[in-house]
């Protein structure tokens, strides 16, 4: 059970706003915060699935074989998200009967017992049609309770925002690898990329899982750093500084 939570490291993480998704750092923070035995980042799509575990308590070769078999979608915890489309955190011990498939449930039961795992708690960072990316914490000697779920509900918006920010930066070909003269944070670079695509503050907020008010704060910082007064001059200034590659 989570007792007193130190949110200081999480605040530091939010302030860093790196370009790349800090999966390992998040996993280690979740493990410490939840007093978990291990934390994994799991991803699944119809054609591909995989996982990274910190620390590596599970034989990943066996796990990868199971993930590739398609049985993952019949795991009760994964099947919960697939059928309900509920993006909130969920614990395996709280999934009602009727989800998943008996053989898959039995398989996961054997794996969990062998690895000394009693319960799992999934925190989705992306949930779409047959697409699931989530951090999963494993508890060794207890079920995850109300206090654990309350904590991860507070943390989930930050995790989703960092994931979307990294996704925008990875997908964007308009941003140069290094900011020219202006020193932009990862979040500012993501906002700038979406701004250059012509998106409104409301759309940018939805894409990055942040409020429209927060988007405007980042725009203020961008204008100051780029010595601009509006969106158009900000984009043009970024192009001149070599931060944005002009569209052709």
Q: What are the residue ranges spanned by the domains of the chain?
A: 8-156, 172-240
Residue 64 Cα distances to 28, 51, 101, angstroms: 22, 8, 19
pTM: 0.80
**Phi and psi angles of residue 128, each rounded to the nearest 5 degrees, phi first:** -135, -170
pLDDT tens figures, 3-19: 688 889 998 888 776 66
CB 25 within 8 A of CB 34: no
Fold of the domain spanning 8-156: Beta-Lactamase (3.30.450)
pLDDT tens figures, 95-145: 998 887 766 667 667 777 777 889 999 999 998 877 889 999 999 999 999
Q: Of 76, 74, 106, 109, give the one whose Cα is nearest residue 91.
A: 76
Per-residue tokens: 108: 């996961």
Tell me the C-alpha distance between 45 and 41, whole Å: 14
CATH number of 172-240: 1.10.10.10
């Amino acid at each position: 059970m989570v007792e007193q939570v130190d949110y200081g490291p999480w605040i530091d993480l939010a302030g860093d706003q790196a370009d790349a998704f800090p999966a390992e750092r998040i996993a280690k923070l979740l493990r410490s915060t939840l007093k978990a035995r291990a934390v994994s980042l799991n991803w699944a799509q119809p054609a591909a699935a995989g996982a990274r575990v910190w620390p590596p308590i599970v034989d990943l070769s066996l796990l990868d074989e199971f993930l590739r078999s398609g049985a993952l979608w019949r795991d009760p915890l994964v099947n919960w998200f697939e059928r309900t489309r509920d993006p909130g955190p969920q614990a395996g011990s709280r999934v009602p009967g009727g989800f998943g498939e008996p053989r898959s449930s039995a398989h996961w039961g054997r794996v969990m017992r062998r690895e000394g795992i009693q319960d799992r708690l999934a925190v989705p960072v992306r949930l779409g049609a047959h697409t699931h990316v989530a951090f999963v914490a494993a508890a060794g000697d207890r079920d995850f309770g109300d206090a654990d779920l309350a904590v991860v509900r507070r943390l989930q918006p930050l995790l989703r925002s960092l994931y979307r920010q990294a996704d925008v930066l990875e997908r964007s070909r308009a941003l140069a690898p290094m900011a020219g003269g202006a020193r932009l944070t990862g979040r500012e670079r993501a906002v700038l990329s979406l701004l250059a695509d012509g998106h409104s503050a409301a759309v940018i907020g939805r894409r990055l899982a942040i409020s429209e008010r927060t988007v405007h704060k980042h725009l203020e910082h961008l204008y100051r750093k780029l010595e601009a007064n509006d969106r158009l001059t900000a984009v043009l200034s970024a192009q001149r500084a070599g931060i944005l590659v002009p569209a052709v």
